[in-house]
Amino acid sequence: AGLASKRVTNIIAAMTFITYRYINKGLYEDHKLTFKLLLTMKILVTAGLLTRGDVSLFLRGGAALDRGSVQKKSFKWLTSDDSWYNILELSRSVKFFKDLPANMARNEGVWQRWYEDDEPEACPLPDYEDAMA
Protein backbone atom coordinates (compact mmCIF):
# COMPACT_ATOMS: atom_id res chain seq x y z
CA ALA A 1 0.00 0.00 0.00
CA GLY A 2 2.90 2.38 0.72
CA LEU A 3 4.37 2.03 -2.77
CA ALA A 4 1.01 2.59 -4.44
CA SER A 5 0.36 5.67 -2.31
CA LYS A 6 3.76 7.11 -3.21
CA ARG A 7 3.14 6.46 -6.91
CA VAL A 8 -0.24 8.22 -6.77
CA THR A 9 1.37 11.20 -5.02
CA ASN A 10 4.09 11.34 -7.68
CA ILE A 11 1.54 11.09 -10.52
CA ILE A 12 -0.54 13.92 -9.02
CA ALA A 13 2.55 16.12 -8.64
CA ALA A 14 3.67 15.40 -12.23
CA MET A 15 0.19 16.03 -13.67
CA THR A 16 -0.13 19.24 -11.70
CA PHE A 17 3.15 20.50 -13.11
CA ILE A 18 2.30 19.43 -16.69
CA THR A 19 -1.08 21.15 -16.46
CA TYR A 20 0.50 24.28 -14.98
CA ARG A 21 3.10 24.43 -17.75
CA TYR A 22 0.48 23.90 -20.49
CA ILE A 23 -1.89 26.59 -19.17
CA ASN A 24 0.93 29.01 -18.37
CA LYS A 25 2.10 28.93 -22.01
CA GLY A 26 -1.28 30.22 -23.18
CA LEU A 27 -1.62 33.08 -20.73
CA TYR A 28 -0.79 36.71 -21.34
CA GLU A 29 2.22 37.82 -19.31
CA ASP A 30 -0.01 40.03 -17.11
CA HIS A 31 -2.11 37.01 -16.07
CA LYS A 32 0.67 34.55 -15.30
CA LEU A 33 1.36 35.76 -11.77
CA THR A 34 -2.35 35.67 -10.88
CA PHE A 35 -2.63 32.12 -12.21
CA LYS A 36 0.42 31.04 -10.21
CA LEU A 37 -1.01 32.57 -7.05
CA LEU A 38 -4.41 30.90 -7.49
CA LEU A 39 -2.85 27.53 -8.30
CA THR A 40 -0.52 27.76 -5.31
CA MET A 41 -3.40 28.64 -2.98
CA LYS A 42 -5.46 25.72 -4.32
CA ILE A 43 -2.57 23.31 -3.74
CA LEU A 44 -2.07 24.64 -0.19
CA VAL A 45 -5.82 24.35 0.60
CA THR A 46 -5.89 20.79 -0.75
CA ALA A 47 -2.82 19.93 1.35
CA GLY A 48 -4.48 21.39 4.44
CA LEU A 49 -1.81 24.06 4.89
CA LEU A 50 -4.20 26.92 4.14
CA THR A 51 -7.91 27.25 4.89
CA ARG A 52 -10.60 28.65 2.64
CA GLY A 53 -10.97 31.41 5.23
CA ASP A 54 -7.30 32.32 4.81
CA VAL A 55 -7.77 32.53 1.04
CA SER A 56 -10.90 34.64 1.44
CA LEU A 57 -9.12 37.00 3.83
CA PHE A 58 -6.20 37.36 1.42
CA LEU A 59 -8.35 37.93 -1.67
CA ARG A 60 -11.20 40.00 -0.21
CA GLY A 61 -9.89 41.44 3.04
CA GLY A 62 -12.12 44.18 4.43
CA ALA A 63 -14.33 44.20 1.34
CA ALA A 64 -16.23 41.32 2.94
CA LEU A 65 -17.40 43.50 5.85
CA ASP A 66 -20.77 45.19 6.17
CA ARG A 67 -19.45 48.72 6.32
CA GLY A 68 -22.51 50.07 8.06
CA SER A 69 -22.07 47.83 11.08
CA VAL A 70 -18.35 48.16 11.82
CA GLN A 71 -16.39 50.43 14.11
CA LYS A 72 -15.56 53.73 12.44
CA LYS A 73 -11.95 54.63 11.66
CA SER A 74 -10.47 56.57 14.56
CA PHE A 75 -7.06 57.37 13.10
CA LYS A 76 -6.75 60.44 10.88
CA TRP A 77 -3.31 59.32 9.68
CA LEU A 78 -4.82 56.12 8.27
CA THR A 79 -5.58 57.66 4.89
CA SER A 80 -7.65 54.87 3.39
CA ASP A 81 -10.96 53.53 4.68
CA ASP A 82 -10.07 50.27 2.92
CA SER A 83 -6.97 49.96 5.10
CA TRP A 84 -9.14 50.29 8.20
CA TYR A 85 -11.60 47.66 6.96
CA ASN A 86 -8.70 45.31 6.21
CA ILE A 87 -7.41 45.82 9.76
CA LEU A 88 -10.84 45.02 11.18
CA GLU A 89 -11.27 41.91 9.04
CA LEU A 90 -7.79 40.68 9.96
CA SER A 91 -8.58 41.16 13.66
CA ARG A 92 -11.81 39.17 13.25
CA SER A 93 -10.38 36.39 11.10
CA VAL A 94 -6.98 35.67 12.64
CA LYS A 95 -6.92 35.00 16.37
CA PHE A 96 -3.31 36.21 16.63
CA PHE A 97 -4.40 39.72 15.53
CA LYS A 98 -7.66 39.91 17.52
CA ASP A 99 -6.39 42.90 19.53
CA LEU A 100 -4.93 44.78 16.56
CA PRO A 101 -7.32 47.79 16.62
CA ALA A 102 -6.87 48.14 20.41
CA ASN A 103 -3.08 47.86 20.09
CA MET A 104 -3.11 50.53 17.40
CA ALA A 105 -5.11 52.85 19.65
CA ARG A 106 -2.81 52.19 22.63
CA ASN A 107 0.40 52.84 20.65
CA GLU A 108 -0.90 55.18 17.98
CA GLY A 109 2.34 57.10 17.45
CA VAL A 110 4.38 53.93 16.85
CA TRP A 111 1.77 52.54 14.46
CA GLN A 112 1.57 55.83 12.58
CA ARG A 113 5.34 55.88 12.06
CA TRP A 114 5.22 52.26 10.85
CA TYR A 115 2.30 52.97 8.51
CA GLU A 116 3.90 56.08 7.01
CA ASP A 117 7.35 54.52 6.57
CA ASP A 118 8.52 54.19 2.96
CA GLU A 119 9.19 50.48 3.54
CA PRO A 120 6.98 49.28 6.41
CA GLU A 121 7.56 45.66 5.40
CA ALA A 122 11.22 46.12 6.36
CA CYS A 123 10.36 47.56 9.80
CA PRO A 124 9.46 45.60 12.93
CA LEU A 125 5.68 45.21 13.29
CA PRO A 126 4.67 47.20 16.40
CA ASP A 127 3.32 45.09 19.28
CA TYR A 128 3.74 41.83 17.32
CA GLU A 129 7.39 41.46 16.29
CA ASP A 130 8.48 39.56 19.41
CA ALA A 131 5.44 37.27 19.35
CA MET A 132 6.08 36.33 15.71
CA ALA A 133 9.74 35.41 16.26
Distance CA 94, CA 126 (A): 17
pLDDT tens-place string over residues 42-87: 999 999 999 999 999 999 989 888 888 888 888 999 988 899 999 9
Contact assessment for residue 84 and residue 78, using Cβ atoms and an 8 Å cutoff: yes
Report domain extents, the chain: 2-50, 67-132
Chain center to CA of 16: 23
Nearest Cα neighbor of 75 from 127, 131, 122, 116 is 116
pLDDT attached to residue 36: 93
CA atoms within 13 A on the CB side of 39: 15
Q: What is the spatial distance between Cα 129 and Cα 101, in angstroms, rounded to a whole number? A: 16
Please report which confidence band the pLDDT of residue 40 belongs to, taking 50, 70 and 90 as the band edges.
Answer: very high
